[in-house]
Structure 1
Amino acid sequence: MARLPRVYVENAVYYISCRAAYNEKLFKGEKDYRMYLELLEKYRKEYNFKLFAYVLLPEHLHLLIEPSPDVEISDIMHSLNTAYSKYFNSYYNRRGHLFRERFRACIVEKEGYLDSVIKHIHNNPVRLKITDNASAYPYSSTYLYSKKDYNYKEIEEALSIERYRKNISAESKDKELDLRKRLHRGGVLGSKEFKRRVKEEIQKNKSVSSENSKRRKNHVIGISLGVIVLLAFLAGIVKYLRFQPRSIPKESRKEAVPLASVVIKEIKDLNNTEWTVKFTSRNEGKSFPDTLSFVNGKFVSAWFHQDGFNPTNYSVTRSGNKIIWETMQTSGNATISWRGEIEANKMRGIASLRSKDKAQDLI
């Protein structure tokens, strides 16, 4: 089915599935599993989301997350999977995408479904014949329940260990198979009232997106609901830090001091810099300027920020003499994927802006 907008619904959790690219494994050894779990814990604290269950398998993984109202699930998964991909590609000296797609999600009502979905997640290693004992699998959250580890307050809040143990093997195989199919189809899993609330939130999301779309149509590049690919830019570095109030928080602006010169040689040098850029439309030949800022670990585009694309975390790697940065931003139904390469103090890059109905190429 079509991908649902990443909406926040009270008393709901996201069942997340991430799969490796074809002919690839997400986890090749113990170190990989441990790294993903460390990153999962890091971003759980940073984004303040609740983690009810997880399982890491060689070629895919499942998470059960309840995001906080002010953080989108897309931001959580982008930060988590980007950081892990960066580690994996560096450790195994590989290039390219590690994950087959961004991720798949099913919005699940907590009341009446939480126990069953947790059970489904924990039983994955048994179903795949990796082990015959779900509790013995080391890369899932079963130990949080079996050992009564209440460091995760969400477990203490939502579940009783006694109820969980009682229900862990209570469902029939037919019900389990039906649940698995419904989860993997995505969409919404819950009561009629819950589905109504989700639909209501989606409609609100679409209304906001529609307003943003109307404003974007007035821009020189004619951004509307569409699929915009291959947006390339050429930039020269500004010799001092000069922040735009609409893009940079006040606490960041007060730390901005003029610099005689800025030279990008190391990964750390990218932070607290600002770049002037020029975008050109491949189809129409039109161009427009933009300002890209990297401040306190956050990336922001002045042009797209006014359309609702808020500052995001970015990843940085080094390849020979090149400094490479990547990030992804979302606004309503639109997503921008950014990738830039810096060499000899010059930046070239590609940004892909995807929406829904229309295609336009920019260079």
Structure 2
Amino acid sequence: MARLPRLFMESTPAHVIVRGNNRQAIFMSEGDRVYFHKCLTTLAAQHDVAVHAYVLMTNHVHLLATPRRPTSLPATMQALGRRYVAYFNKLHERTGTLWEGRYKATLVETERYLLTCQRYIELNPVRAGMAGHPDEFIWSSYRHYAWQRPDDLLTPHFLHADLGKDEEARRINYIGLFEEDIDTETLERIRSSVQNGWALGSKRFCAELEARGSRRPAPVTSGRKRTSPPNDLGSDSHSEMGV
């Protein structure tokens, strides 16, 4: 089956995942993460991409970002791949591909799913058993929003301002978002959307994207109800197997 072209739309947030080939580690040291973060900060600014949230796991990366042009995100990811893989291969004396095929990406409906998707990303280390709380994992955007830790990579989405009238109120309310788990149905929808390249949003959102875009943003419903999630929606702990 031919792979669907990715959906990109200026000013529409996207959830992006990059995985290591065969689930291998893409970060072997803290220095690797520092270099990746630095490259992404530079390239996102260069190509007009606002990164709202991220997590740098051992063998994969999640991003939540808004491109300001349709080509902004593809240009950023392509340049990031070239620069980081060249660095990684030289430093660790290896050759060949580092990534597991193409990076995955899906558009995210702002009002309904943006903050939920951001929580999903920052909770990744908790679901993988690498931390008991997101503030225990330093390589994510959580500490920037919860503890005002400076992070040059990040540009808060305008929706973040709705969390409170001032910075302290927004900080406290942001922490409060993590007091409840994301329900199973929403978790599965986030995973399914990014794995399969379908938009994460309402029927109205998908209809608007289809009217503006070049392909269907959602699968055609067959009328048959799925009784269990697809195999590729495994828990995030599986993605960190061996870490």
Does TM-score exceed 0.5, indicating one fold? yes
- Residue type matched to 1:191 in 2? S
Residues 188 and 204 of structure 1: CA distance in aligned 2, closer, same or farther (over 3 Å): closer
Q: CA–CA distance in 2 between the matches of 1:126 and 1:176?
A: 17
- Residue type matched to 1:32 in 2? D
Task: Determine whether 1:66 maps to 2:61.
Answer: no
Task: Determine whether 1:198 maps to 2:209.
Answer: yes
- 8 Å contact 2:10–2:66 — kept in the other structure? no
Deviations 1:226-252 (A, max 9, x none): xxxxxxxxxxxxxxxxxxxxxxxxxxx
Max radius of gyration: which structure?
A: 1
Identity %: 23
- Residue type matched to 2:137 in 1? Y
Match of 1:39 in 2: 39
Residues 102 and 30 of structure 1: CA distance in aligned 2, closer, same or farther (over 3 Å): same
Structure with higher helix content = 2
Residues 116 and 24 of structure 1: CA distance in aligned 2, closer, same or farther (over 3 Å): same
Per the normalisation by structure 2, the TM-score is 0.75
Task: Determine whether 1:185 maps to 2:196.
Answer: yes
Q: CA–CA distance in 2 between the matches of 1:108 and 1:91?
A: 36
Q: Which of 152, 164, 167 lines up with 2:177 in the alignment?
A: 167
Q: CA–CA distance in 2 between the matches of 1:90 and 1:13?
A: 33
SS where residue 113 of structure 1 aligns? helix
Per the normalisation by structure 1, the TM-score is 0.52
Match of 2:21 in 1: 21
Aligned positions of 1:178-327 closer than 5 A: 178-182=188-192, 183-203=194-214
Cα deviation, residue 80, structure 1: 1.0
Give the total of aligned pairs. 204
Q: CA–CA distance in 2 between the matches of 1:172 and 1:35?
A: 31
Greater relative contact order (CA < 8 Å, ≥ 6 in sequence): 2
Gaps of 5+ in 1: 206-363
Structure with higher strand content = 1
Deviations 1:319-362 (A, max 9, x none): xxxxxxxxxxxxxxxxxxxxxxxxxxxxxxxxxxxxxxxxxxxx
- 8 Å contact 1:52–1:64 — kept in the other structure? yes
After TM superposition, the runs of 4+ consecutive aligned structure 1 residues lying more than 4 A away are 149-153
Q: What is the CA RMSD across the aligned residues, in angstroms?
A: 2.4
Match of 1:100 in 2: 100
Gaps of 5+ in 2: 164-169, 217-243
- 8 Å contact 2:119–2:178 — kept in the other structure? yes
Deviations 1:91-145 (A, max 9, x none): 0111100101120011111112111000000011010101112112011111110
